[in-house]
Structure 1
Amino acid sequence: MQTSRPTFELDSPVPLYQQIKDSLRSGILDGSYPPHSRMPSESELQEMFEVSRITIRQALGDLQKEGLIFKVHGKGSFVSQPKTIQNITSLQGFAESMSSEGHEIVNRVVSFSFVAANEEVASRLALDPGAKVAEIHRVRLVNREPTSYEITFLPEALGKKLQRADLATRDIFLILENDCGVALGSADLSIDAIPAHGPMTRALDLKKDAPVLRVERLTYDSDRQPIDFEYLYFKGGTFQYRLRVDRKRPLKANRKA
């Protein structure tokens, strides 16, 4: 924790509260203030930075708006658990995306079995109801913290190819491409929020009915054949999907000469 007063530019066009916010923000991002640790109180920050309480409150207010801290009534401000972010404008596996952002990814394989596909799984994978499919349950840990519980279904033939694969350290997408010779094409996603239940509550250290982000993802190969259907459950407050969308401009009516 910082103990000496940082140097600020009093003549800077950047407001003093923003300079203080940037200083505290740097401390949060570099780990000087670890996740869930208590931030110095307003009076402690006043003394540290030698500024008014109003200036400190402006800086803390901005940090709260950014989601870097949260306030507990009567106890002060605490550092938020940083969210992992995945951009969904391109088709990537979770570890593939997170590793590129510098995160450490570990997969804990809970189970791997062959089961009869229920109606929904069979429909998504274009199989007959009751057809045998591989069902894989994994917990994904980001920087050693459990972040998601994932259930993956694949047609039996592909599932058999994955039986000997290293699912603890590799993405299924990369295994399909590099080991199985499957050219991935596209995926359909749907996202909603549901209450936690079943094995995910234990795996993600959640209370029953705590909110989780659920992503249903159906992945196709380059020939538009469905090959991978997944339920991805993300622990609330730890993960964020990001997507950039462009406004579609209406076509101009053809003008007659």
Structure 2
Amino acid sequence: MPRAVHAPAYRRIRDELLDLIRCGTYRPYGRLPSEMELVRRFGVSRVTVRQALKALRKDGVVQSLQGKGSFVCMPKVVHGTPALLGFHETMEGRGYATGSTVLSVRERAACHEVAQALELKRKASVLEVRRLRCVNDEPVSLDVSHFPIDVGARLAREDLAGDIFPLLERRCGLPLGRADVSIEAVACDAANAAVLHLQPGEPVLHVRRLTWSASGRPVDYEHLYCRGDAWQYRVQLNRRRM
């Protein structure tokens, strides 16, 4: 990224370290070079290096452990903007390398919950897509999406490793309108833990998201299992004046 010519030295060091973290040179939970190594690398004082590390800690990018050094935090997928965005749209806008692995694509009979959400008859056919989402090659969420079969049949011909929202709009002709989201903290079961590189019982955020087309049709019902150390939802609340 462009550097301000007259930016303070600590800020230039912070920005360079941030770039190295975002491109994967320093990976989540990995240790940064020591303060003295950074002093030699950048040719600055130890005070300046400490200012740079303090700025990274303030931004939640690293954490420092006394006597052990500074370590890279898992980058958090932050949701909370009013816009309805997909995973890649959200994270790539923040400069992180993202990836998705399609684990399975299958037609199945809708269970009661899925049928009710998509306003289908029980056991109606739906397309189920399971995907693992990664940031800098680290798994951050397991997404299980369900689509009415007429929509799913069109999606099944596409590359589902990217964001599905643009596919729904551009390839399926379904402009999206809104999404209803519910979030709860749950203990990760053994099957999901193996995929997310967690221990069974570790906390995850279980997100249910129902996305509606602009015309008012429910077209995508998702279960997202998000690592608790890698996902953050932000909400702005305004007090109504009586």
Q: TM-score, normalised by structure 1?
A: 0.74
* Paired residues for 1:77-88 under 5 Å: 77-88=70-81
Give 3-state SS (helix, strand or coil) of 1:247's partner: coil
Take 1:101 and 1:57, find their aligned partners in 2: how far apart are those partners? 24
| CA distance in 2 between partners of 1:21 and 1:210 (Å) | 37
- Once the two structures are TM-superposed, the CA of residue 174 in structure 1 deviates from its matched residue by 1.1
Amino acid at match of 1:167: L
> In structure 2, what is the equivalent of residue 124 of structure 1?
117
Partner of 1:12: none
Q: For structure 1, list consecutive stretches of 5 or more residues without a partner in the other structure.
A: 1-18, 252-257
Q: Which residue of 2 aligns with 1:247?
A: 238
1:208 counterpart residue number: 200
Secondary structure, aligned partner of 1:85? strand
Indicate the RMSD between aligned Cα atoms, in angstroms: 3.1
Letter in structure 2 aligned against 1:79: V
Instruction: Give me the whole-angstrom Cα distance separating, in 2, the residues matched to 1:94 and 1:161.
Output: 21
Q: CA offsets, 1:83-140, max 9 Å, x none?
A: 3434431111212232333333322110111112111111111122222211110011
- 1:26 counterpart residue number: 15
Take 1:57 and 1:148, find their aligned partners in 2: how far apart are those partners?
A: 33
Kept in 1, the 8 Å contact 2:75–2:135? The answer is no
Of 87-96 and 109-118, more deviation after overlay is shown by 87-96
Task: Confirm or deny: 8 A CA contact 1:85 1:239 kept in the other structure.
Answer: yes
Question: Per the alignment, do residues 59 and 160 of structure 1 end up closer, same or farther by CA in structure 2, a change over 3 Å counting?
Answer: closer
Normalising by structure 2, report the TM-score.
Answer: 0.78
> Alpha-carbon deviations, 1:190-228, whole Å to 9, x = none?
122222224322222111112222221001111222111
Q: Between the two proteins, what is the percent identity of the paired residues?
A: 38
> Is the CA contact (8 Å cut-off) linking 2:102 and 2:160 kept in structure 1?
yes
Residue deviations 1:6-60 (CA, integer Å, cap 9, x gap): xxxxxxxxxxxxx78646633531328824214526x8889986678xx998886
Q: How do residues 191-202 of structure 1 correspond to structure 2 at under 5 angstroms? A: 191-202=183-194
The answer to whether the aligner puts 1:145 opposite 2:138 as a matched pair is yes
Label 1:65 to 1:163 Cα distance change in 2 as closer, same or farther (>3 A): same
Q: Is the 2:32–2:69 Cα contact (8 Å) retained in structure 1? A: yes
What SS does the corresponding residue of 2:174 show, helix, strand or coil?
coil
Structure 1 counterpart of 2:119, one-letter code: A
Any stretches of 5+ residues in structure 2 without a counterpart?
A: 1-7
Paired residue secondary structure (1:30): helix
Structure showing greater radius of gyration is 1
Residue in 1 that maps onto 2:176: 184
User: Who is 1:37 aligned against?
Assistant: 31
Q: Does structure 2 retain, via aligned residues, the 8 Å contact 1:86–1:98?
A: no
